């Protein structure tokens, strides 16, 4: 199957998914969107009110800020793939629960395998925890780490920066580093240790 076909299949399956409780309250699933050959995948937490209404990721206030951050590094949302760790809205925007994250993980895994991006940017702590389970976002944000051959770059969630104005400049500075980290990835690809997913972050070499 071609990557675009896999992404369509994942979207169809997420739309009909009943693996966790979130299907009861969702209006529609929000599988994610972007080119099947995107070089970067951004992974947020889960759909909010507007995303649940429209079936598209990051279309509310956090999405507007994400688009501004992308523009600051000369990218548009059409050039990147944007998705979430859970594809259905947690009621009242509560945190996704462990069973929900586990139920939805297969969809995200298939998206990542299909797109095969060089870089994954995690937005917020739930997305970070999927790749680096014990890492603290305050310690690792803006630093790149290689996980299963891919560059993972943890960032604060754009919504966190909207709620906590002091984080705004931190998020902007982390985004400003992204192009440099991506080109450094080319150079350092073979020199960096390859780390298995879910490895204890104490053993991770951040650079």
**Can you give the binding site for ligand URA, defined by CB under 6 A?**
44-48, 51, 57-58, 60, 62-63, 84, 159
Q: How many helices (H) and strands (E) does the chain have?
A: 9, 5
**Smallest separation, CB 66 to ligand URA (Å):** 8
* Of 39 and 53, CB closest to ligand URA: 53
**Smallest separation, CB 76 to ligand URA (Å):** 17
**Smallest separation, CB 65 to ligand URA (Å):** 10
* Of 144 and 156, CB closest to ligand URA: 156
**In the 3-class helix/strand/coil scheme, how is 74-115 assigned residue by residue?**
CCCHHHCEEEECCCCCCHHHCCCCHHHHHHHHHHHHHHHHHH
* Of 170 and 184, CB closest to ligand URA: 170
Task: Specify burial of residue 193 (Cβ count, 10 A radius: 0-12, 13-18, 19+).
Answer: exposed
Provide the angle, in degrees to the nearest 10, between the axes of the packed helices 98-115 and 3-15: 160
Residue facing ligand URA at closest CB distance: 44
Tokens of 43: 């992974």
**Smallest separation, CB 39 to ligand URA (Å):** 20
* Of 80 and 195, CB closest to ligand URA: 80
């Amino acid at each position: 199957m071609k990557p675009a076909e896999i992404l369509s299949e994942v979207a169809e399956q997420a739309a009909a998914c009943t693996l966790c409780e979130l299907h009861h309250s969702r209006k529609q699933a929000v599988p994610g969107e972007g080119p099947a050959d995107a070089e970067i995948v951004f992974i947020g937490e889960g759909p909010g009110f507007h995303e649940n209404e429209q079936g598209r990721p990051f279309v509310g206030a956090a999405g507007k800020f994400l688009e501004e951050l992308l523009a600051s590094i000369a990218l548009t949302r059409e050039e990147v793939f944007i998705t979430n760790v859970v594809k259905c809205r947690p009621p009242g925007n509560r945190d996704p629960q462990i069973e929900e994250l586990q139920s939805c993980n297969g969809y995200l895994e298939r998206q990542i395998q299909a797109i095969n991006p060089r870089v994954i940017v995690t937005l917020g702590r739930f997305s970070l925890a999927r790749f680096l389970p014990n890492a603290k976002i305050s310690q690792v944000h803006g630093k790149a780490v290689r996980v299963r051959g891919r560059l993972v770059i943890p960032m604060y969630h754009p919504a966190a920066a909207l709620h906590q104005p002091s984080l705004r400049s931190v998020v902007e500075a982390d985004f400003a580093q992204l192009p440099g980290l991506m080109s450094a990835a080319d150079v350092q690809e073979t020199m960096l240790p390859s780390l298995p997913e879910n490895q204890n972050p104490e053993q991770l070499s951040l650079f």
